Structure 1
Amino acid sequence: MRCNILRNLYIKSNGDIRCDDDYGERVLLGRLNEDSTFSPSLFFNNGKFQKIRHDFENNQLPWGNTCQNCAFLTNGEIEDSFAQKNINKIQLETSLLCALKCPACSREKQIKLGRKPLILSLTKLENLLKGLVSEKFSVKQFEFCGQGEPLNHPEFSTLFHLIKKYYPNANTSLVTNGNFDYLQKLSGCSLTEIIVSVDGSNQSNYQTYRVGGTFEKCVQFMRDIKKFAPACSLVWKYILFNHNDSDNDILAAQAIANELEVDELRFVGTNYGPASNRLSTNLSFPITYQATSIAFHPYIKGTLATLKLEQTKLATLKKFIPWRSENIMHHLDRAVLAQQNGELLLFIDGWLVANDQSNNAYLCLGKSKKKIVPIFARPDVAKIHQCKKTTGFRVALQVTRDHIGQEIELRFIAQGYLQQYVQAYQIKVPSLETLNVLPDSA
């Protein structure tokens, strides 16, 4: 089992150090102090971390159901970066304050429960940095995030430059709601990446979830990032809800992203609040801006419980089909018939894991051949096959009315440098009565 707990640190605004998963936040690993320098050698070998290492070495979950519900627990060997004095990422909740009132946010509940202070102490942060540097720990990335708004820290610029004083070469990332004046908050802060959460393409559909936010202020914030910090990578994060997921909404966001020249427009599926089912039921997702990405998380309950069974199946496969099992795996989840622009299209959803990047995979129907390009996040697949999350794909193959109600043969082809793997599937094309009519593409 692989877990981030021996690679990443998550510091809360009150100095608590906790697991970096939303569900795992309930696990307290330790605290930063105002009056003493942080000792990584003592902290990373305290009772909690001894238990973590012991349990993982014995193929057990340290915190039972808490670990079972973790989004970051995957198959594979756990990586103990701390033992090598390397930290992959330090996440800093600089503030638990926020002017927005997003319905699914737990921030106000945490404040009512008495979690204080609401602002990360500069002294605590410097004590952490001093201790890490004194024991020669490397840090790859610092990320400003958390349950509150990072830029509501009254001394954010001071905090940023404090980090750069001790770790000048570390990458720095900020996750923000963007309801700020860029120059007032970030002038002189040379961040590596800024992720702006803007869930809509106009004030009406934006404010439904981001209650209290101003859409135009977010757009201006992103515009100013490109103007005043062109070297910074700008990511527009757009969570899909049932009030902002129409074709018009999606196309309008891409038009704005194109005008702003954002480095990535990231559409994200969620299970919280008024969640959209767009990515799971509607097969047409119009993409006009080349820097658009889609992150879909169709979590399958019980995935970890089936892990040993799947590993046994894979071990058997490797004995008889070594090339296929070691380099490429795939699955076709469903086939749905739809009509668009007057054409009949058979949409095939599935996932593809290609460990050898030289492999190209295709779906073929007759002489029609479509390359498979994974663009959807599939953490359920990643949990079992120890791979990156972006393995889900959707391929559209043109069919004729003569195919309706008939069985057709689809061929999956994986082409490597030296050999080719082919698998045939018999698919019955749905009848006309179950035809889905999709809006014409722009």
Structure 2
Amino acid sequence: MRSDIAVDEVHYLGWGEPLLHPNFRDLVETVRALSPGTIQEVTTTGNADFRASLGGTYIDRVVVSCDGVRQEEYQKYRINGSLEEALRFMRDAKLHGHPDTFVEWKYILFDGNDHPDDLIRAQVLADEFGLDSLLFIVTNSKTRSLRYTNDTMAEIPIRSRRTKISPAAAMMIGSRVSGHVDPARSQLGDRENASLYIDECRVTRGNMLTVSGWSLGADGSYVDEVELIAGSHRQVTQTHDLRHDVAAARSNAQGARCGFLFRVPLGGQSMPDALALTVRLRNHTQDFSAAVQWPAAG
């Protein structure tokens, strides 16, 4: 690997199961040795023994594709797959994996695995396992959920602070409107315990509020989490997006992994003109606020 080429991220995914590669650990450890700052992420079905396939090997993110909480529905989308194995994999990833590994359960909503009781059950399991994120994906595929669509995704029952909702990538193209933060009526920037800046605030054509930015502790350390309140919507996330521009500008920054992204489905609600954010660190919290101005219609 050439030393003058920066590789921000390596993703192991595609039309197959990465963990079936007999030398998968060697791949991860080789990248780590040649480019220690590169974030590595694997997307897997979780139909594997965690300790045999990944245990003892540090990888930044593990995304487990597990579409359902009942075997009869799960196997419609994961042919010959075992729900029990996928759930055990996620549990073991938190029990036996590296403490800094971010573990996300990705649950695509189809016509059959989208009953509210199933979605609540998934959230109970995510909390029980101590996962970092449970992501419900609303899709426009042939077997998509008819209960939860781009227009009704805000009706998905949210019971856990780990839970997030996102449209499939193909459904997020284009913005309906982009707002800007009014600095005179906002409390952002460098504060006593932490720094937080918002770079983008927009609403997609599917009425999804998207807020992105970055945050660091006052000493340059990574923060534990950022919480956003937008009207009646509350969401929590971690700063695991790369921001090399921030790391280059802040000499005391622990690293570039300080960016955050919120996607909040607004449903039929109007765009919020005020955002409340809380940054949580190990021994402190810091409150921020942002007043958002949206362009007038017409």
Do they superpose with TM above 0.5? Answer: yes
Residue aligning to 2:207: 350
Contact 1:329–1:354 (CA under 8 A) maintained in structure 2: yes
Is 1:163 paired with 2:36?
A: no
Q: Deviations over 1:225-275 (max 9, x none)?
A: 111114111101101101100011101111111111111011111222411
Cα displacement string for residues 131-156 of structure 1 (whole angstroms, at most 9, x for unaligned residues): x23xx222222221122111111211
In 2, the alpha carbon distance for the partners of 1:237 and 1:206 equals 13
Check conservation: 2:211, 2:263, Cα contact below 8 A.
no
Equivalent residue in structure 2 for 1:262, among 131, 156, 178: 131
Q: Deviations over 1:79-105 (max 9, x none)?
A: xxxxxxxxxxxxxxxxxxxxxxxxxxx
| Aligned equivalent of 1:151, options 19, 24, 30 | 19
Shift of 1:392: 3.9
**CA deviation digits over 1:340-397, x for unaligned, max 9?**
xxxxxxxxx835466899xx997xxxxxxx456689xxxxxxxxxxxx783642377x
Identity %: 26
Deviation at 1:195, TM superposition (A): 0.5
Name 1:93's counterpart in structure 2: none
Q: Is the 8 A contact 1:413 1:421 kept in 2?
A: yes
Structure with the larger RCO, 1 or 2 (CA within 8 Å, 6+ apart): 2
Q: Indicate conservation of the 8 Å contact 1:411/1:423, yes or no.
A: no
Residues 407-435 of structure 1, C-alpha deviation per residue, up to 9 Å, x if partnerless? Answer: xxx8964489898869999xxxxxxxxxx
Q: Which of 173, 177, 181 matches 2:41?
A: 173
Q: C-alpha separation between the residues in 1 aligned to 2:95 and 2:201?
A: 44
Give the TM-score normalised by structure 2. Answer: 0.62
Partner of 2:263: 390
Query: CA, structure 1 residues 162+198, in 2 after alignment: closer, same or farther (shift >3 Å)?
Result: same
Tell me the equivalent position of 1:21: none
CA shift at 1:164, angstroms? 2.1
**Partner residue in 1 for 2:162:** 291
CA deviations on 1:164-183 (whole Å, 9 max, x unpaired) are 22123322211111000112
Q: Which residue of 2 aligns with 1:194?
A: 62
**Aligned residue in 2 for 1:279:** 149
CA distance in 2, matches of 1:140, 1:254: 31
Whose helix proportion is higher, 1 or 2?
Answer: 1
Asked if 1:204 is matched to 2:72, the reply is yes
AA of the residue aligned to 1:394: G
Q: Which moved more, 1:210-219 or 1:155-164?
A: 155-164
SS in 1 for 2:207: strand
Moved more, 212-221 or 269-278: 269-278
Which residue pairs with 1:247 in the alignment?
116
From the superposition, tell whether residues 155 and 371 of structure 1 become closer, same or farther in structure 2 (CA, over 3 Å): same
Question: Which range moves more in the overlay, 145-154 or 237-246?
Answer: 145-154
Shift of 1:290: 1.2
Contact 1:374–1:393, Cα closer than 8 Å, also in 2: no
1:21-420 maps to which residues of 2 (within 5 A)?
A: 129=1, 132-133=2-3, 136-231=4-99, 232-277=101-146, 278-280=148-150, 282=152, 284-297=155-168, 350-352=207-209, 370-371=231-232, 390=263, 392-394=265-267, 413-414=273-274
Query: CA contact under 8 A between 1:225 and 1:234: conserved in structure 2?
Result: yes
8 Å CA contact 1:412–1:424 kept in 2: the answer is no
- After superposition, the Cα gap between the structure-2 partners of 1:150 and 1:332, relative to the gap in structure 1 and judged at 3 Å, is closer
Q: Give, as a single letter, the amino acid of the residue that structure 2 aligns with 1:247.
A: P
Q: Which consecutive residues of structure 1, in runs of 5 or more, have no partner in the other structure?
A: 1-128, 334-348, 363-369, 376-387, 397-409, 426-442
257 and 299 in structure 1: CA distance in 2 versus 1, 3 angstrom threshold:
same
- 1:162 to 1:393, Cα distance in 2 relative to 1, 3 A: same
Q: Report the Cα distance in structure 2 between the residues aligned to 1:164 and 1:356, rounded to whole angstroms.
A: 27
CA distance in 1, matches of 2:94, 2:23: 23
Cα displacement string for residues 2-40 of structure 1 (whole angstroms, at most 9, x for unaligned residues): xxxxxxxxxxxxxxxxxxxxxxxxxxxxxxxxxxxxxxx
CA distance in 1 between partners of 2:112 and 2:68 (Å) = 9
Q: Which residue of 2 aligns with 1:399?
A: none
Larger radius of gyration: 1
SS at match of 1:265: strand
Over the residues paired in the alignment, what is the CA RMSD in angstroms?
4.4
Report the secondary structure of 1:199's partner residue.
Answer: coil
Q: Shift of the alpha carbon at 1:224?
A: 1.2
Instruction: Give the number of aligned pairs.
Output: 233
Alpha-carbon contact 1:179-1:213 (below 8 Å) kept: yes
- Whether contact under 8 Å (2:46, 2:85) holds in the other structure is yes
Q: Cα–Cα, structure 1 residues 151 and 331, in superposed 2: closer, same or farther, change >3 Å?
A: closer
Query: Is the CA contact 2:140–2:171 (under 8 Å) kept in the aligned structure 1?
Result: no
Structure 2: where are the runs of 5+ without partners?
185-198, 215-227, 237-260, 276-287
- Whether the aligned pair in 2 keeps the contact of 1:373 and 1:393 (CA below 8 Å) is no
Q: Please give the secondary structure, in 1, of the residue aligned with 2:87.
A: helix
SS in 2 for 1:190: coil
* TM-score normalised by the chain length of structure 1: 0.44
Q: In 2, are the aligned partners of 1:374 and 1:392 still within 8 Å (CA)? A: no
